[in-house]
Every structure is written in C-alpha cells, then in structure tokens.
C-alpha cells in the first residue's frame, strides 16, 4: 500500500531529525520545506501537523516548528511506530544487526492468566516460546510469548528465528495493528543477569503486551524483559 | 465544563471495572447498558467505542465487550488520563491520602539542556524545585522540575505544597493539556534509596516529561524518579 505523500514527507523529516540534519533543533520554514520537497504547501502543512501530533515537533505560534529534545534522546530498542513494525524490524538501527535466538518452543494448555489475556477457554492450546534478542552481539531482551495454536497453526522453531509480524504481513497478508502495552521496572532476576549480562543491582524494564488482530481478537500475549538501558518508551499524552 | 453524556457513561463504566463490578471480565450487552443508564443506544455505543479506543475494553465481533485484563492489573501512582489531572489528583486513590514535601525551591539560569527542553535563552530564569510525594506514609516519587519564571511569576513554596496543575486550572483557568513523556528504568542512587526506602538492588522508574501549554509553549520540564513498584504505564499503541 502506497502511503499518502504527506505521510512520506513526515517520515523523511523524522529521519532527518534522527540523523540530526537540523542541528539548531528547528525545522526550516514551510516555504523552504515546500521547495525542498517540491510539493504543495498543504502537503507540508499536513506533514508538520502529523509530526506535531506524534510529539516529534512542537509548533510555537509565530516562531516555527521546534524539534522535541526528548524525542532526540531516544535510543530505544523497540519502536512501536511505523508500518506494522513488530519487535524485529524496529530493533534494527542503521549499521546494526539483530539476532534472535529461540530458547524454547512448546505447546501447552493455558493458565487462567493466559486464558484471560487471550480470551481462551481452558482447552485452547497455546504455543509458549522464549526468545533472546540481541543487537549485534549485545543481548537486550528476553521474550516469553503465548499464541493460540488455532491462530497460527504453522508456527515452528524456524519461523521463530525471524519477526513473526513481518512474516505474517509478507507471507499471509495479516497485519497485527494494535497492541496494549504495560511498562514497568523490576529488579533483575538471576536469569536476567545471566542472559542480559547485568550486574545484580541493575534492573530490567518489563513490557507486557497484548497484540490484537484486526477483528480485535488477541493474537499474542508477551512479557518482555529488557536490559534497562534499552527501555525508553516515549509518548505524547493528552491530559484533558 | 460539562462532559458529554457518553463520556460520563464511559467514566462510570471505567470506575465499575476498576471496582470489579464485572467479575466475568465481560461488560453487560448494549441493551442492558442502555436500560441501566437510561440513555439512548447511540450514547452507549459511543461510550463503548471510547473505552475501546482507550484500550480498556476489547470488542470481540459477535461476542461482546471484554475487559482488558492488563488494564485491571494497573496499580499505578500516576494516571495521565482524565480532566487535566496533574500528578497530584491522579495519585489520590480512594481511601488514600497524598502528601507533598517541598525539598527545595530556587531560581536559577537554565543549563543548555533546560534551555532546549523549555525553548529558553541563556538569560531566561527558571524555577528549579524538588518535591517528594507520598501516598499515606509511603514515599513514592522524587520530582525535580523546572518552570520558566515568566510563565508563573507567583510560584512559591506554599503553592508547591499542592498540585500546580490543579491550582492553575482552578485559580487561573489555565489548563496544561498535553505532555511528552519518556519512560525508563534505572538503578537507584543512594539518594533514591534513602528517600524512597529502597534496597540498593531495587530500581527506580524514571519519567521525564515536557508539559505544554495550550499554545504549544513548554510550561514545565520534570524528571520524576519513582519507587519501581509504582511505575506502571499502560498505553494502547497503533502499530500501523
């Protein structure tokens, strides 16, 4: 699916911001942007509005569009923006390679908690799998996930070596579009310390998530323990 | 300002959910809700849509509205939903009292980082203050904040003993409506351990935020260090 021109422009500007093309933390004015991108003024206006809605820039009346300095500080491993990015694509930062190690894959009956999180009965089998994700050679994330067998009957150890969401999108044209995520901090366990090379006083960030199919059916429940230096979730919050 | 009826209904249902009035984790059907609230079916539909948009319920085609189990697990100290809730009102959970201790208040020139976060020049004075927030007698949060002097010239130690956002809303009719928030986890410092009664292996959750006025001007930059058991940020994320 081709994206509207203003979305493409917003993404280009976002990339420019990340690569620090605007060292003064201020965007060029609308007129300049219109010329640079060779599009209509209204496309630029919509692109800027999108960036403002995402909290990436702040519009300051009369003085232009300023880059949110907190946005720039992000060095997050997970980035739940963009096009159906699962964990995997979003972990790829330019010049870095990611690696997924499958630690386990089983089929089990769901605990009451898993039943609740995935709207299952006690008889609905689920895959239970653990993966360790690394950037280059640095392990950053231990993932424990559950997927109902009937929603993904062909799941295999082989498939788990890649991003499931990318696979679903590319091979089966299925998009996992929404997720409900919880962020917490916890002391690291001994297992965390070994897997993520943490000292015993270093914490993990814990993200639990329910990932939903288009029709609202929960597809996956996942609990992710991250090396704390790789947890950085940013969000624009409406207080009203 | 009076809220639309569907917003009021959504809030009532939300409160019912929190107080576990629906032990089966399923809402009554639309027809029943229409009768219970004695409003039109369309108001109920809008209220349910709002709850779905907020990630509080999931609509499952043909089977009804289910309560998000992750939502129920929240025991968060900060709740950035609702009407212009600042930190303070949101920390009040029924049956509990909050307490704010003002640790310091100074007026200083901004560092380059503060200048950037609040769009200031090197000459713009800022208030710098630290507060310790407790629920009942449990300290949960150390806050270090900066506010430009010209945006709040009457700030005082006395005012800092309460929620500034509530004060602004009630006394000056000013609403702080949006915030850009970052969530991270960090090992606790010795100061954290003393103030928040943490063991040295227990972490803090760190929320940094830029709070914006209506016109987009940054009003406050704040760095908040929370007892890790009180950091629980939940959000519905659109992956597409």
- For residue range A67-100, what is the model confidence (pLDDT) as tens digits? 887 777 654 545 554 333 344 444 545 567 788 9
Query: Taking CB atoms and an 8 Å cutoff, what residues of chain B touch A190?
Result: none
pLDDT score, position A85: 34
Q: What proportion of chain A, given as a percentage, has pLDDT over 70?
A: 88
Strands laid side by side in the A218-227 sheet: A98-108, A126-135, A138-148, A218-227, A203-213, A176-187, B233-238
Verify whether the Cβ–Cβ distance A86 to B210 is below 8 Å.
Answer: no
Minimum distance, in Å, between the CA of residue B41 and any CA atom of chain A: 22
Nearest residue, CB atoms, A216 vs list B60, B175, B178: B60
Verify whether the Cβ–Cβ distance B215 to A119 is below 8 Å.
Answer: no
Query: Taking CB atoms and an 8 Å cutoff, what residues of chain B touch A182?
Result: 70, 73-74, 232-234
Q: pLDDT tens, B161-196?
A: 988 888 888 888 888 878 888 888 999 999 999 999
Nearest residue, CB atoms, A58 vs list B203, B212, B233: B212
Domain ranges of chain B: 5-72, 87-230
Q: Which residues contact A37 (CB under 8 A, 6 or more apart)?
A: A9, A12, A43, A44
CATH 3.30.450.90 fits A5-72, yes or no: no
pLDDT score, position B93: 59
Verify whether the Cβ–Cβ distance A66 to B177 is below 8 Å.
Answer: no
ipTM of predicted complex: 0.76
Nearest residue, CB atoms, A228 vs list B185, B218, B239: B185
Query: Taking CB atoms and an 8 Å cutoff, what residues of chain B touch A184?
Result: 205, 228, 231-232
pLDDT score, position A74: 56
Q: Supply the DSSP symbol for B239.
A: -
Q: Count interface pairs A-B at CB distance under 8 A.
A: 185
pLDDT score, position A188: 97
Biggest alpha carbon distance in chain A?
Answer: 62
pLDDT score, position A39: 92
Long-range contacts of B185-191 (CB under 8 A, 24+ apart): B185/A185, B185/A186, B185/A203, B185/A204, B185/A205, B185/A228, B185/A231, B185/B228, B185/B231, B186/A185, B186/A203, B186/A228, B186/B225, B187/A201, B187/A202, B187/A203, B187/A228, B188/B225, B191/B142
Residue A46 clears pLDDT 50, i.e. is over it: yes
- Max mean pLDDT among A122-136, A165-179, A207-221 falls in A122-136
Domain formed by A87-230, architecture:
3-Layer(aba) Sandwich (3.40)
pLDDT score, position B87: 47
CA-nearest residue to A57 within chain B is B216
Tell me if A225 sits within 8 A of A206, measured CB to CB.
yes
Verify whether the Cβ–Cβ distance B183 to A59 is below 8 Å.
Answer: no
Verify whether the Cβ–Cβ distance B58 to A235 is below 8 Å.
Answer: no
Q: pLDDT tens, B124-156?
A: 999 999 999 988 888 999 999 999 999 999 999
Q: Distance (Å, rounded) from C-alpha B237 to C-alpha B56?
A: 13
Instruction: State mean pLDDT over A103-108.
Output: 97
Q: In this structure, is the dihedral angle defined by the CA atoms of residues B214, B215, B220 and B224, taken in order, positive or negative?
A: positive
Verify whether the Cβ–Cβ distance B239 to A58 is below 8 Å.
Answer: no
């Amino acid at each position: 699916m081709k994206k509207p021109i203003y979305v493409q422009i917003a993404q280009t500007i976002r990339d420019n911001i990340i690569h620090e093309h605007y060292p003064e933390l201020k965007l060029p004015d609308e007129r300049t942007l219109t010329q640079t991108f060779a599009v209509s003024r209204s496309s630029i206006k919509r692109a800027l509005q999108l960036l403002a809605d995402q909290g990436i820039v702040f519009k300051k009346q009369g003085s232009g569009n300023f880059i949110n300095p907190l946005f720039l500080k992000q060095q997050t491993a997970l980035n739940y923006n963009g096009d159906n990015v699962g964990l995997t694509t979003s972990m790829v930062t330019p010049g870095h390679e990611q690696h997924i190690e499958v630690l386990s894959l089983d089929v089990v009956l769901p605990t009451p908690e898993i039943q609740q999180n995935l709207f299952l009965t006690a008889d609905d089998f689920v895959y239970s799998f653990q993966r360790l994700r690394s950037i280059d050679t640095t392990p950053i994330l231990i993932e424990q996930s559950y997927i109902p067998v009937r929603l993904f009957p062909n799941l295999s150890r082989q498939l788990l070596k890649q991003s499931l969401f990318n696979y679903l999108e590319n091979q089966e044209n299925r998009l996992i579009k929404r997720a409900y995520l919880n962020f917490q901090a916890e002391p690291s366990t001994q297992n965390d310390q070994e897997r993520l090379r943490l000292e015993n006083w270093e914490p993990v960030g814990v993200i639990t998530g329910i990932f939903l199919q288009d029709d609202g059916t929960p597809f996956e429940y996942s609990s992710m323990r991250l090396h704390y230096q790789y947890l950085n979730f940013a969000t624009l919050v409406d207080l009203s």
